[in-house]
Amino acid sequence: MNRRHFLMGAAAASTLRASSLRSPNDTVRVACVGLRGQGATHLREYARMPNVEVAALCDVDENVLNMRASGSQFAKKPPLYNDIRKLLEDKSIDAVSIATPNQHHTLQAIWALEAGKDVYVEKPCSFNMFECRQIAAARKRYAHIVQHGSNARSNPGAREAVQKLRDGVIGDLYSARGLCFKWRDTIGRAQPEPVPAGVHYDLWTGPAPVHPFTKNRFHYNWHWFWDYGNGDIGNQGIHELDLARWSLGVTYPTKVTALGGHFMFDDDQETPNTLTALYEFDGTGGGKRKMLEFAVRHWMTNREAGLGERRGAPPPPRATGEPAPEPKNRLGPASRPDNPDGVGVILYGSKGYMSFEASGKYAAFLGRDREPGPAGMARGNNWENFISAVRSQKYEELNAPVEEGAISCTLVHLANISYRLGRSIQFDEKTYTCPGDKEATAMFTRPYRKGFVVPEKI
């Protein structure tokens, strides 16, 4: 009964908020959860928006929390929390913006929805296949605004490029190649040590199994451990996978094959630093058969279709809105003129091809002679789009709804399952299983720690 009354109260609060935020002059109160790395970007974006108040800060590392709280963007210091569940008790907060490690995304989003809040959740919105379904189900159940951190979908250049593809600028689309070429150095090896002062390690671990604390399992490098992250295909790569899937106009693949490994380095990293994934879409639902190839590469690389080229000039701000990773995990700053990364998507059609970056930069090349076709570049802002939808409470205004993000995340998880099993897998959208493959289907979820269980019933 208590839970029932809580949910009824949350629904009523949502209705009142929807009516009170219709005007652009009404203040939207946003709580930022997870403040290091990409979380700093969230904080900066909201702090510069008119009539948006950063109303609370939350991080499990008190060192990071206090550092962010001392910023000059605050007229007064907002309330500070280590546990998001305490933050969610504040009924005056309209929205929660989540930039925590991957293992927290789905559960924290569901908690926020249950509390009657609108949600911005970083990519990937799910840690595994099961969570893809649960976060989408929770969005539908609570009928709130949920934006996924697929930033490219808010870039006018990207939306223009997708429309040109729909209009047939390169003919009939049949294939895409996504690239995640990021220069990433070895993370080395780190020995267990005492948990640093101010770090709430149990809260940081959340749904994942408990391991002895090491620096490599903590800030940023958690991406490279299976208990917390999804490798670079789920870190940078989810942006390009989403672009490729969006451009091709497909949803779920029917067959996935992934090969790769951890090359060059002898260190703590568990996820592959080199990976090739192939996805087949069989045209279920009346579409045409299509194919998507995705490549992750961590070191030396060539250029493909001009992706990542800067022609000697400093690169523009990072395409995905992400800050540069930690210095020890990169070779030099991200702003170096000879940017070693090559990240984006190449679309292939019957009349030509198009190169496409998350920044909104695109260029088409037509015919056998690759004659220049339409090209352009225009940036937008995913956080501004989110706040606009929070004000209007019109879900259709979102550029990156979480349902679309969840479908793209399945491509990450299916590739990782194929890689870890060392074989191709089939996927059936209707049953949401790998038919006849109990081993693969069992990898759709995992045991959750008490107190951090993603609910099966939404």
Q: What is the mean pLDDT of each run of 10 residues along the chain (458 residues)?
A: 41 49 78 97 96 97 96 88 98 98 98 98 98 98 98 97 98 97 96 98 98 97 98 98 97 98 98 98 80 96 82 39 40 48 96 95 96 96 98 97 98 98 98 98 98 97
pLDDT at 310: 60
Our CA dihedral for 179, 104, 32, 24, rounded to 10 degrees, sits at 70
Token pair in block for residue 307: 């992706």
**Is the CB of residue 217 less than 8 Å from the CB of residue 229?**
no
CATH class given for the domain over 2-152+384-400: alpha beta
pLDDT at 72: 80
* Cβ count near 410 (within 10 Å): 25
CATH class given for the domain over 156-378: alpha beta
Residue with the two structure tokens 């090349």: 365
pLDDT at 5: 39
Of residues 98, 269, 61, the one with CA closest to residue 69? 61
Extents of the domains making up the chain:
2-152+384-400, 156-378
pLDDT at 83: 98
pLDDT tens digits along 365-410? 999 999 999 999 999 999 999 999 999 999 999 999 999 999 999 9
What's at 226, amino acid-wise?
A: W
Of residues 417, 405, 409, 419, the one with CA closest to residue 444? 417
pLDDT at 326: 39
pLDDT at 23: 62
